[in-house]
Structure formats: C-alpha cells, structure tokens
Amino acid sequence: MKLYSFFRSSASYRVRIALNLKGIAYEQAPIHLRRGGGEQFGAAYRALNPQALVPTLEDGGKILTQSLAIIEYLEEKQPQPPLLPKDPADKALVRSMAMIVACEVHPIQNLRVLNYVKKEYNQTDEQVNRWAQHWIDLGLSALEEMLAAQQQRGKFCWGAASTLADICLVPQLGNARRYGCDLSRYPNILAVEKNCMALPAFIDAAPEKQPDAE
Ligand SMILES: N[C@@H](CCC(=O)N[C@@H](CS)C(=O)NCC(=O)O)C(=O)O
C-alpha cells in the first residue's frame, strides 16, 4: 500500500495509526502542503484526489480518499485487531466521538479554511488562531464530557483497546497545541492521550517520526 500524506496532517496521522495498529506495511509518498504553494494542488496529485487533500491511499491500483473511509476500508479488509466495537450502540458511540473531531472540529480549522478566513476577511494570525481555538475547544469540551460520563471507561475513549475514537482524537490534540488551546481543561482527554502514546502504533505514527518531518 502507498499512503500519500504530509507529516503534520492530522488526517494522514489517523490513517498511519490505523495501518500501524493493524500491522499493515505501507510506503509513504509525501505531499508537502505548503511548499511551492502546496503540492496537493499539482495535476498529478489532483488526478488521485480531486479534493486536493491528504491523505490518499493506493492499494493494488485502487485509490481511496477521506481518512475515515480509508480506515473503514482497512477495518473490513483486515478486521483484526478491531477498531470498532461489535455492539451497535457501542459502535455508534465510538463513531460519534470520532466524528466530533473529524466532522465538526477538524474541517473548520483546516489549512484551506484558515487561509480563506485570513485572506477574505483580512484577519491577523492571532485572530485566525483564535478562530481555530474556538472550534477546537467546542469539540474537545463535548468529548471531555462524554468521556467523564462513561462509568466504566477503560484506558481509551472507549474500552480496553484503542478504537477509531482514539485514532481521531490523538492527532487533533497536536493541532490543538499548535493553535494554543489550554488542554489542562480536559483531564480525561489527556489521560487517554497518555495511554495511546504508550503504544508503538501511535508513537511510530507521530508527525516527528515521519520521513518528511521538518
Ligand atoms: N475529511 C478529510 C480531511 C482531509 C484534510 O483536510 N487534509 C488536510 C490536512 S489534515 C489537507 O490536505 N489540507 C490541505 C489544504 O487545506 O489545502 C479526511 O479525513 O481525509
């Protein structure tokens, strides 16, 4: 498998964690999101991913985009270890935690959104950071409440092994720190992060460990 990704991209980071958890070997094709105006906008890459976003996964000639779709593909192709619980209600809970990050928080603090806010509305870097912080804090506060409400929570967002929820959460925390969010307000989230970051699958997927890291 070949993963088109950028070391600092949290959506790419999600897929790297999932591949590592499942023990699937892959090569990386780095796409630099800033160099030369952004390599994601090059014609060759856009032919693979018309949205001009990373990640893209190539598997035996098949091209897959959107990190959650890619992770669900990996889950179906190689079910062990599972990244989603079996029980439908538990599965919905895990997906809902993942979607807080992937559908509500991440899309509105993404590079292209921040660039648009900055240019179209003449905002300073500080104002743009405040925009990012606002949406990240809104999502993390909800997630923190959901974690606190689970009476029998294990070491992770749900249960005794990492799931799709952790895969989405951990990379988002990197973004949160980059934009100056105060994470001390989220003790349950920080405890989950600590437990995840004790696992090789998460450690090896970290941005600073990637071949294109700066
Ligand atoms: N929903 C997409 C989001 C992908 C995405 O936003 N990728 C970012 C990096 S994390 C990107 O490629 N940004 C480039 C840009 O904004 O121009 C997914 O989960 O794959």
Q: State CA 95 to chain mean position distance.
A: 13
The DSSP element (H or E) to which 71 belongs, if any, is helix 67-77
User: Which of 10, 53, 173, 179 best tests ligand 1's pocket when mutated (most atoms within 8 Å of CB)?
Assistant: 53
Neighbours of 191 (CB within 10 A): 14
Q: What's the 190 CA to ligand 1 centre distance in angstroms? A: 24
Q: Please tell me the least confidently modeled range out of 40-54, 115-129, 149-163, 177-191.
A: 149-163
Q: What pLDDT is recorded for position 151?
A: 77
pTM beyond 0.75: yes
pLDDT tens readout for residues 11-47 = 999 999 999 999 999 999 999 999 999 999 999 999 9
Quick check: CB of 54 below 6 Å from ligand 1? yes
Q: What pLDDT is recorded for position 152?
A: 75
Of 46, 61, 53, the C-alpha closest to 1 is 61
Quick check: CB of 110 below 6 Å from ligand 1? yes
Q: What pLDDT is recorded for position 153?
A: 82
- What is the mean predicted confidence (pLDDT) over 154-181? 96
- What is the mean predicted confidence (pLDDT) over 109-113? 92
pLDDT tens readout for residues 39-66 = 999 999 999 999 999 999 999 999 999 9
Q: Which atom of ligand 1 is nearest to the CA of 9?
A: 10
Q: Please tell me the least confidently modeled range out of 98-107, 151-160, 188-197.
A: 151-160
- What is the mean predicted confidence (pLDDT) over 83-107? 97
